[in-house]
Structure 1
Amino acid sequence: MQNLVEIRDLKVEATTDSGRRVEIIKGVNLDIAPGEIVALIGESGSGKTTIALTLLGYARAGCRISGGNVRIAGKDMVTLSERDRAAIRGTEVAYVPQSAAAAFNPAKRIIDQVIEVTRIHRLMPAHEARQKAIGLFRALSLPNPETIGSRYPHQVSGGQLQRLSAAMALISDPKLVIFDEPTTALDVTTQIEVLRAFKSVMKKGGISGIYVSHDLAVVAQIADRIVVLRNGEVQEIGTTADILTRAQHPYTRALLAAFEPQPRGGEILVKDRKVLLEVKDLVAGYGAKHRDGLPLIRAVDEVSLSVEKGRNLGIIGESGCGKSTLARAIAGILPASSGTIIFENRELPSAVRQRSRDQLREMQIVFQYADTALNPEKSIEEILGRPLTFYHGMRGKQREARVGQLLDMVHLPNSLRHRRPQELSGGQKQRVNFARALAAEPKLIICDEITSALDTVVAAAIIDLLKELQRELLLSYIFISHDLSVVEAVCDEIVVMYGGRKVEEITPAHLQAPQHPYSKLLFSSVPKLDPGWLDALELDPELVRSYSKS
């Protein structure tokens, strides 16, 4: 059988700010047969997306394809003219991005954007394109396929928008579709429905695919073969089953090891264990307030929980369940409308500006995206130095020395202190984000999805760091996530939230036997390192209808 895609000795160069050229893709070879789905796996910076984009004849700003061939159905995307490449993009090769929200124009109706490629390339009349789009909506298991296209992007859920972006890619009957981490931002219940829809449409249409991801369990459900990448080079290629069960390369085995659930380790001994934080009947939300002072939209609805000294509480649930709103309400960033927050046996004011400096110092929050949490104009030394001055009055040599200690605590070299955030990797930025919280010398740190934007290996290293620091500093954590394996590795108790309410509280020892129907749906939807898992998965349809927002 002739290959649809043949990549030979592909090289891509990047130009640094100083004008130096660095080879970031180093002689990659890859074939894809018609109807085959191949996954590109590796850490951030391994070259996954860079290779995938060359199939569109594209290199990102500051990069160029410096050597090799990228042939699709015999056409070399490297040597074609830009006009010829443009004719192939969207017709023979299509792209599904990681963030569907960024791919849609918020001011235009969905249907008009889905069929736009058919108008640009004059593939079919508008009425025919609309009917074809509705057929794709149905095939992708979207609700109300006849009318969903009349909505605007903000009027559908994240999972629906991700499938609509796939419809946009598939409407031109492409030979190859590039999926660039399309389920990374989705919670587990939504991810299952989206993966099933993608897999069904691709197999029925005999369409080839490149699936870019750092999540081996997701890749296991959709890929025929896996290509393992590191630093722009192929480490190993094999069938999905071979890679998962008989991996040969040490790096592949390290990726697999990082994915396995991490043991929580021994319990930290704390004399006279006491409650550090107690939250009672907390209500928080958004919009205008009623006469009773409660918000129009209750994102958190009468939630109660507690955290003991030296212990950790996990909060899980799908997107929109109120996890992050609860974190912000506890931290005082979004003042609660009612309820009480008791910390160290003292009731805290609901608003952060009304709390004392010591109350602020003892409870810190680390946000999901270090990119937006760290000031890009400041050096790492300035970022870490500010809380040292604010909370402890440190200046000069004393502050410089403490910055070095903080960097050492989060396992970063002292040489990074003069760099800015954009010069650091994702994992390094998150360590700086955490070091800034440690600068306050807190008793409780609220971690809001701090590993969700990181690849598996880096996330595992961050979790190891959290455990180490807890042992050394007797910290307590509230760990908010939709990644159940991470929560299981860190937490002593787990709160399950749905629709702004706490529906269940369980310990890791009882994770296999949750009691609430939503908890059962959530835990059964976590992908396994088994290629047959998704096809064999049988979720209770009544539960899915009741709780799924996909």
Structure 2
Amino acid sequence: MSPIVQIRDLKVEARTDSGRRVAIIKGVSLDVAEGEVMAFIGESGSGKTTVAMTLLGYARPGCWIAGGEVRVDGVDMAALPEKERARIRGTKVAYVPQSAAAAFNPAIPIMEQVIEVTRIHRLMPPEEARRKAVELFRALSLPDPDHIGDRYPHQVSGGQLQRLAAAMALIGDPKVVVFDEPTTALDVTTQVEVLRAFKTVTRKHRIACVYVSHDLAVVAQIADRITVLKGGEIQECGTTTDILERPQHPYTRQLLDAFRPAPHARAVLTDDAPLLHVNGLSVGYGPPGANGKPLVLAVESVSLTVRQGTNVGIIGESGSGKSTLARAIAGILPACGGDILFDGRELWDSARKRSRDQLRQLQIVFQHADTALNPAKSIEQILGRPLTFYHGLRGKARDARIDSLLDMVHLPRALRHRRPGELSGGQKQRVNVARALAAEPKLILCDEITSALDTVVAAAVVDLLKELQRELGLSYVFISHDLSVIEAICDEIIVMHRGRMVEAITPSARQQPKHPYTRLLFSSVPKLDPTWLDGLDPQSERMQAASGG
């Protein structure tokens, strides 16, 4: 029996701003059988999403399929006119995006959007489509499956919306589904339930899947085979077990090494006065109620201490309050209770009231470099502004310091004349770090700075932060939902749940978590073991642990 997906000598080209044609996919060939899950792994820019999207006959703006065949159930998507491709999308082949929030219209109820493809292709009557949607909601372990479709997208959680996006893709009974990094934006506890739901439904219906990811541990749970891509070419392809246990190509081994970061050389904790001391900090949103507290309390009575040259990690699922805590420490969000002491002096709760020297010494690096860096400014202008603001540098002195900052974060000096849009994700995040370093701080708050990066680039950024710490004596507060990153750089881990600190753990002491939620969090981190997901507790038991029961 022929494979349901057959890609032969696929070539995709793009045109540069100067009009030059460049090859971005260079002769890729592979097969996917019915019911098989094929994972595409590789760093950003490797071509994994580009190859996957050709299954829908799609190439992003400025690109085109330049050669080869992309057969889905015997039909060559590369050769079809666009009108014919549109008839196949949603029926033979469907797509689940990375950001479900961007896939849904906020003004239309969820059910109407999930069944839309059945109306477009006239697959079934509306009432039958609604019944089928409810069956999918139930199969995907969505809460209240009979009524969740009546809600609007903003009324469900991120993990629920991701499963609803899968229902939207599956309702047309496709033979092939492309999953494009569908759990990247989810915290680990939510990711587990979404992965389990995807695996159950696709296996039951014998759907061939292409699963795009940069996370080998996630891929290990769902893939039968793995294709490793780099620079638009296949480096290696094999069974999941072979790739994880017997990798042949040096690049595959590099990906596996990046997943296992070197352990952090723990600092020796002293009794010196702390650099940062947060005492009983509370942060909220909305107008104050009768008790004088904000309408919504996002962080409640959190305390932590950071000593010079040490790193504290703050971990928790989405909505746990960890980023809100970081913004309150930085003075971006006003606290409604508690104190912040920095270098022995009390800090105002608003950055506007803090002295220039206090602002200089405590910097924050944000999660999304795309929104943190002004797209209209050159790198030179972005780095030059804090040099002038904090140190009064201008002219040649400022230019020399910009070169020095670029050297520090291992970026070519020639990048100083480019704008953020001309840089890769990893390069932009290094500029983000360099801007913080321009102030010559004592402490940097790192808010999910590796979550949008692939594993190789994220590991390089963590190594850079360690190197800068050794050279400059920096301290970090590192906010993340990625436990492996936290363990790679932090001396102490603060666990947050529903706005409260539930536990503090010292990794160097090999301290085992005691709180039920911490145990749930730690147990939810995927392992490079294909049997890991199937061996986890059922959802009900895990949720009981999360609530402390």
Q: State the 1:21 CA deviation.
A: 1.0
Q: Tell me whether 1:427 sits opposite 2:401 in the alignment.
A: no
Contact 1:236/1:249 (8 A) holds in 2: yes
Change (3 A) 1:119 1:512: farther
Aligned CA-pair RMSD: 1.3
Deviations 1:6-60 (A, max 9, x none): 0001000111111111100000001011111100000000001100110000100
Q: Distance in 2 between matches of 1:108 and 1:541?
A: 31
Alignment of 1:140-155 (within 5 A): 140-155=140-155
Contact 2:315/2:494 (8 A) holds in 1: yes
Q: Which residue of 1 aligns with 2:111?
A: 111
Contact 2:266/2:490 (8 A) holds in 1: no
Contact 2:5/2:72 (8 A) holds in 1: yes
Structure 2: which 5+ runs fail to align?
A: none
Q: Tell me whether 1:65 sits opposite 2:60 in the alignment.
A: no
Task: Please tell me the residue identity of whatever aligns with 1:439.
Answer: A
Task: Please tell me the residue identity of whatever aligns with 2:461.
Answer: I
Task: Please tell me the residue identity of whatever aligns with 1:7.
Answer: I
Alignment of 1:466-481 (within 5 A): 466-481=465-480
Q: Distance in 2 between matches of 1:40 and 1:26?
A: 15
Change (3 A) 1:163 1:540: closer
Contact 2:273/2:344 (8 A) holds in 1: no
Change (3 A) 1:266 1:508: closer
Q: Which residue of 2 aligns with 1:459?
A: 458
Q: Tell me whether 1:317 sits opposite 2:316 in the alignment.
A: yes
Which segment drifts farther, 173-182 or 289-298? 289-298
Q: Distance in 1 between matches of 2:231 and 2:434?
A: 27
Q: State the 1:295 CA deviation.
A: 1.1
Q: Which residue of 2 aligns with 1:215?
A: 215
Task: Please tell me the residue identity of whatever aligns with 1:5.
Answer: V
Q: Distance in 2 between matches of 1:266 and 1:115?
A: 53
Q: Distance in 2 between matches of 1:131 and 1:270?
A: 60
Q: State the 1:235 CA deviation.
A: 0.1
Q: State the 1:73 CA deviation.
A: 1.1
Contact 1:216/1:259 (8 A) holds in 2: yes
Contact 1:467/1:490 (8 A) holds in 2: yes
Q: State the 1:457 CA deviation.
A: 0.4
Q: Distance in 1 between matches of 2:112 and 2:100?
A: 15
Contact 2:193/2:539 (8 A) holds in 1: no
Deviations 1:121-158 (A, max 9, x none): 00000000000000000000001100110000000000
Q: Which residue of 2 aligns with 1:337?
A: 336
Describe the SS at the equivalent of 1:55.
Answer: helix
Q: Which residue of 1 aligns with 2:490?
A: 491
Q: Which residue of 1 aligns with 2:203?
A: 203
Structure 1: which 5+ runs fail to align?
A: none
Task: Please tell me the residue identity of whatever aligns with 1:449.
Answer: E
Task: Please tell me the residue identity of whatever aligns with 2:518.
Answer: S
Describe the SS at the equivalent of 1:275.
Answer: coil
Number of residues paired by the alignment?
Answer: 547
Q: State the 1:546 CA deviation.
A: 5.7
Q: Which residue of 1 aligns with 2:3?
A: 3
Describe the SS at the equivalent of 2:52.
Answer: helix
Which segment drifts farther, 281-290 or 244-253? 281-290
Q: Tell me whether 1:93 sits opposite 2:90 in the alignment.
A: no
Change (3 A) 1:293 1:111: same
Q: State the 1:537 CA deviation.
A: 1.7
Q: Distance in 2 between matches of 1:19 and 1:366?
A: 36
Q: Distance in 2 between matches of 1:290 and 1:272?
A: 41
Percent identity between the two aligned chains: 72
Q: State the 1:538 CA deviation.
A: 2.2
Q: Distance in 1 between matches of 2:541 and 2:522?
A: 16
Q: State the 1:81 CA deviation.
A: 1.4
Q: Distance in 2 between matches of 1:483 and 1:174?
A: 33
Contact 1:176/1:209 (8 A) holds in 2: yes
Deviations 1:347-385 (A, max 9, x none): 000001000000100000000000000000111010000
Q: What TM-score results when the alignment is normalised by the length of structure 1?
A: 0.98
Q: Distance in 2 between matches of 1:211 and 1:88?
A: 19
Q: Distance in 1 between matches of 2:107 and 2:314?
A: 35
Q: Which residue of 1 aligns with 2:499?
A: 500
Contact 1:94/1:170 (8 A) holds in 2: yes
Q: Which residue of 1 aligns with 2:293?
A: 294
